[in-house]
Chains A and B, each alone.
Chain A
């Protein structure tokens, strides 16, 4: 895989993840490890 192709793949993966987050994420999750 060439460097340019690898970057394209990573950009596509990033776009897909951001799209999933925009569509399905639940933004009100508590962080449970900050101190119980």
Chain B
């Protein structure tokens, strides 16, 4: 999608919102922010139909959360299942064609930003079920779900943190000239990543047809190029939005921490799209692992329980990222990376013991090898983002065959 973060209309909206919000206190601040969010969705990003479907999708989440707060045990699973089903329908997953006739599949509902919105609403529903949500207020909720600074591509923040910041219970950003300057600098760095550096790599986005005829060298350059492009595009966007949020007195979580230096796959997901990792760990991995440990068969086998839980988590991650089989395979391959890494780590622990394993991990050649292997493993997995499974298989066939 092609909304420019440097478009005068978006920058004007951000500037006016920042100035007005800085001058206001209390509930009217929330009303102004909601107005800015609606202007963004309606006027800049989605148009009337897309904006309306997005607001209704968020409003349904509010209604379901209210029901969960009143009757947690009864309403939770019913509400969550209905919401997941609606998300799958609106997101137009490929597999829907197997069950639903094409005439019932709509193309008019909004999909941009829907995955991020969905995870935010599910987070609110689960926290409501657990009794850890705090006060649920309609204006704050709508500002949280429709927040134009994080709507398109995150970071995925917690409702509790956002509401404390918006309602003034926490002031994460000091209101000094230098803090505003820091925010503008952060935005400028993000713009440079997205609009100045990333375009150098935009030439290296492999196409389905090209990978079959490309030379070996060309193929590798394209695979690495796409990884760099994806990082700069996404991390630059997050820089811009974190800087913009700071101008509004908000601080979403950081999303990146030098992912190219990751020493293993677990380290990678703690450095790349960190807010998604936190969400998946809290709401998929931890409950699944805990459940598995409670079963008679998996209870005495914690490594197997953890591996199955991580496989499930990564499959959900794959389905969240995109609607085609390629994304399911992306999730599966990352799940397998985790299984190999955790099993290898457990084996080393048994062979070397805790102290020697710590020394082994700290030895620089091992760290360098870990960085190299992780970089390549991730770069190759990202081709699922771009290519159909047949094209990916063709690449792997060429890798194995050496042609």
Q: A and B: partners?
A: yes
Residues of A whose CB lies within 8 Å of any CB of B are 3, 6-7, 10-11, 13-14, 17-18, 20-21, 24-36
Measured CA separation A24–B153 after assembly (Å): 25
Interface string of B122-139 (1 = CB under 8 A from A): 000000000000000000
Q: How far is the CB of B181 from chain A (nearest CB, A)?
A: 5
Q: Is the CB of B181 within 8 A of A36?
A: no
Q: Is the CB of A36 within 8 A of B321?
A: yes
Measured CA separation A4–B194 after assembly (Å): 30
Measured CA separation A21–B233 after assembly (Å): 15
Measured CA separation A34–B5 after assembly (Å): 13
Residues of B whose CB lies within 8 Å of any CB of A are 1-4, 6, 91, 111-115, 152-153, 177-178, 181-182, 184-185, 188-189, 191-192, 194-196, 198-199, 202, 229-230, 233-234, 237, 321-324, 327, 385
Q: Which listed residue, A11, A31, A35, touches B237 by the CB 8 Å rule? A: A31
Further contacts, 14 of them, CB under 8 A, given A29-B233, A30-B2: A7-B178, A11-B181, A13-B185, A14-B188, A17-B185, A17-B192, A21-B188, A21-B195, A26-B195, A27-B195, A33-B233, A35-B1, A35-B113, A35-B114
- Chain B contact residues: over half helix, strand or loop, or mixed? helix
Q: Is the CB of A7 within 8 A of B177?
A: yes
Q: Is the CB of A10 within 8 A of B188?
A: no
Q: Is the CB of A35 within 8 A of B322?
A: yes
Chain A residues in 8 Å Cβ range of B181: 7, 10-11, 14
Chain B residues in 8 Å Cβ range of A27: 4, 6, 195
